[in-house]
Amino acid sequence: MTTGHRITVCAQQLTDAHGFDGFTMDELAEAAGVSRRTLFNYFPGKIDAVLGNMPALPEDLLEEFTEGGPGGNLVDDLCSILVHMVSTKEFTRDEAEVARRVVKANPRLMAAAHERFEGMADKFAALIVQREGEDFGTRRAHLLISMVACLYGVALNDVLANDADGLALDVAFVEALSTLRALLA
């Protein structure tokens, strides 16, 4: 488990047990087994620690996408980036349940998560327009991103509902996409 992940898991557990305002950054540092300085090297504040870091997207992956790859189909290629993002996350099923629960329970965390999503949506909309051309339009790009985010939500629900703990998020996402395609066919 990486240090950043350990800090986030501890922040989420503390939030789940005591509420967002029920612990200090010093208590978080102690729970994560890091110094306060290390904690702030990873996260500028408590909200960021609880939400965790966004997965890094390699520049070559984004460049390939804007050039029309990896497969040449916009939806498939956008989804392949999301599959890459979710497959690099370290969270276990139990950790994902706690994360979802604490975000839903706290309006500040929900707002911060929404703000992060909007930032990512804007970034991906720009990449889609760069790839497809200005005529594609930002509105259409945002619509596609919203659809993909919805599929992610369905996949996460499927993973969390799977008692066997054997369904991987990336697999569940691909299954949700296949189901949507069948419905729209």
Output Rg (C-alpha) for the chain, integer angstroms.
18
Q: Is pLDDT at 86 greater than 90 in this prediction? A: no
Domain 54-184 belongs to what topology?
Tetracycline Repressor; domain 2 (1.10.357)
pLDDT band for position 164 (cuts 50, 70, 90) = low
Q: Classify domain 1-53 at the CATH topology level.
A: Arc Repressor Mutant, subunit A (1.10.10)
For residue 45, pLDDT beyond 90: yes
Q: What pLDDT was estimated at residue 133?
A: 98
Task: Please report which confidence band the pLDDT of residue 18 belongs to, taking 50, 70 and 90 as the band edges.
Answer: very high
pLDDT of residue 89: 67
C-alpha closest to that of 45 among 30, 26, 25, 31:
25
* Percent of residues, the chain, with pLDDT higher than 70: 97
- Asked if pLDDT for residue 120 goes beyond 70, the answer is yes
Which of the four pLDDT bands, split at 50, 70 and 90, describes residue 82?
A: confident
Q: In this structure, how many other beta carbons lie within 10 angstroms of the beta carbon of residue 105?
A: 13
Give the start-to-end residue ranges of the domains of the chain. Answer: 1-53, 54-184
Q: Which residue has the higher pLDDT, 162 or 153?
A: 153
In DSSP notation, 101-162 reads HHHHH-HHHHHHHHHHHHHHHHHHHHHHHHHH-GGG-HHHHHHHHHHHHHHHHHHHHHHHH-
Q: Residue for token digits 């488990």?
A: 1
- Output the pLDDT for position 59: 94
Give this prediction's pTM: 0.87
Residues with Cβ within 8 Å of 68's Cβ and at least 6 positions away in sequence, in order, are: 77, 131
Across the chain, mean pLDDT equals: 92
At residue 55, the pLDDT reads 82
> Residue 88 pLDDT > 80, yes or no?
no
